[in-house]
Amino acid sequence: MSDKLKVLFLSSEAVPYAKTGGLADVAGSLPLALKKLGIDIRLVLPLYSMVRKGNFPIRPLIENLEVPLGMEMFKANILETRADTGLPVYLIERDDLYDRPNLYGNSMGDYYDNLERFTFFTHAALCIIQAISFKPDLIHCNDWQTGLIPALIKGPYHNNPFIREIPAVFTIHNLGYQGIFPSEKLSVTGLLKEKFFHPEGIEFWKKISLLKAGIIYSEAITTVSPTYAKEIQTSEYGMGMDGILHHRRAFLYGILNGVDYKLWNPETDTHIPAHYSLENIGGKAQCKESLIKEMGLKLSLKTRPVLGMTTRLDTQKGLDLFVEILNDILNLDVGLVILGSGDEDILQDKIRAAAEKHPGLVGLKIGFDESIAHRIMAGVDIFLIPSRYEPCGLTQMYALKYGTIPVVRATGGLEDTIIPFDIQSGEGNGFKFGHYKPEALFKAVQDAVELFQNSNAWEKIRENGMKADFSWNRSARAYLEIYQSLVRD
């Protein structure tokens, strides 16, 4: 028998299979980094239609696996595909739950049966353990969709010899999504009311919170940056969970996300029209010119700063600040490229109105498009992330690698990764503002646009960013240490 540490890693999305945001980037790359450290790690994902569309080589693993949901047993097929380096990925096939156009909902809101969908996901993951006799030393759960796992281990599975006492790590990628459902649906989860539905359990203001289940019942809680780990213990950022997070602070760790430089690297990126590096930067100007054309901006912007944003259109992302000063920014005679996913019609209207007022300066694409996201990263000069809160944020780290200067709000992982540029010492990699105020964002944008005219200083700030290393190496080791400490205990 191998003495490798065995880990089952659950996520509701992972690159390259299914993605709506940064969770997918992390779940697609952290397990690979952990595997490199010698862990036998396996990933579990729902088999969404988005996964099928990817045409990955898939083979059947288990047929008709019996999975409990509420009072009944249902069947699911488990399929297997292999990620890079042979990492096993178990896909749960249940078309009535997962074969839908989107992962979590549509323009009308969340899918009505998300409790059933993700409860089934977690039970199925536990049933796989038994069916393939892979008893993990621990289970790593991510966000509310997997929050039930630690409670299930202590509840309905506590007598199951394959599952009892498996420690769980619960990673909070975003406290804004709490997996809240009406208490009448408790029986769906399989948890007993007396044991679990109370204020010290999964009850949150008389409702079920799957996020809270993860926080309360896991052996260790991690979140995706050191600053966010502190912020979420305050009422300003804690979204009602600050009390319990503070209470569990001895088990709470902030570990900065890493970047997968195989996917996000201007030297090899398959989505961009020209490759470049710090030593050979010429391709960046080509990427810029090509993006200007792709977005229908005026060609004279080749010598002016072009600003970019790639984001979910969510209140988290600070777009309300941004639209307030949109016209002021455009009056600086800069270009602006925005790729946004979501249904924020008011925002879209405001951006379109500004585009009409400033012809040739604004390119707006609505939707989720991985390829354009890469071309924006390479083609713009300045990348804006004015988030109200940001657990980690990945795009600022991608921007650095692409020689694109981030302008960020000092919160969460943005605070931990971006150092304001100091023209005297030549140190720093971006621009940062603190107060959540349009004027503060505007000042930071103005400073960045001004620095752009100073080509020596611009080269220096770009060099600082491109040289930085945010690969997974260090962070994967931090997770390994937590895993080892839990397994020892």
Q: How far apart are CA 395 and CA 384, in angstroms?
A: 9
Does 29 engage in binding with ligand ADP (CB under 6 A)? no
Copy the structure tokens of residue 404. Answer: 């694109």
The item of ligand GLC, ligand ADP, none sharing an interface with residue 203, based on CB under 5 to 8 Å by kind, is: none
Nearer to ligand ADP, 20 or 446 (CB): 20
Nearest position to ligand GLC, beta carbon = 22
Q: How far apart are CA 330 and CA 54, in angstroms?
A: 39
Among 21, 88, 360, 426, binds ligand ADP (CB under 6 A): 21
Beta bridge partners of 422: 427
Nearer to ligand ADP, 13 or 116 (CB): 13
Interface pattern 346-385 for ligand GLC (x via CB under 6 A) = ----------------------------------------
Contact between 177 and 211 (Cβ < 8 Å)? yes
Residue ranges in 364-383 that form contacts with ligand ADP under rule CB under 6 A: 368-370, 373
Does 305 engage in binding with ligand GLC (CB under 6 A)? no
105-106 vs 109-110, strand pairing mode: antiparallel
Nearest position to ligand ADP, beta carbon = 22
Residue ranges in 6-35 that form contacts with ligand GLC under rule CB under 6 A: 21-23, 26
Beta carbon of residue 45, minimum distance to ligand ADP (angstroms, whole number)? 17
Residue ranges in 205-234 that form contacts with ligand GLC under rule CB under 6 A: 224
Q: How far apart are CA 329 and CA 315, in angstroms?
A: 20
Does 255 engage in binding with ligand GLC (CB under 6 A)? no
Among 394, 407, 408, 482, binds ligand ADP (CB under 6 A): 394
Among 81, 119, 174, 178, binds ligand GLC (CB under 6 A): 174
Beta carbon of residue 463, minimum distance to ligand ADP (angstroms, whole number)? 23
Q: How far apart are CA 68 and CA 65, in angstroms?
A: 10
């796989």: which residue's tokens?
128
Among 7, 221, 392, 444, binds ligand GLC (CB under 6 A): 392
Nearer to ligand ADP, 301 or 339 (CB): 339
Nearer to ligand ADP, 10 or 129 (CB): 10
Piece of 158-166, 269-277, 310-318, 324-332 that binds ligand ADP (CB under 6 A): 310-318
Piece of 91-99, 114-122, 318-326, 362-370 that binds ligand ADP (CB under 6 A): 362-370
Contacts to ligand ADP by CB under 6 A: 21-23, 25, 310-312, 339-341, 368-370, 373, 392-395
Contacts to ligand GLC by CB under 6 A: 21-23, 26, 173-174, 224, 257, 390-394
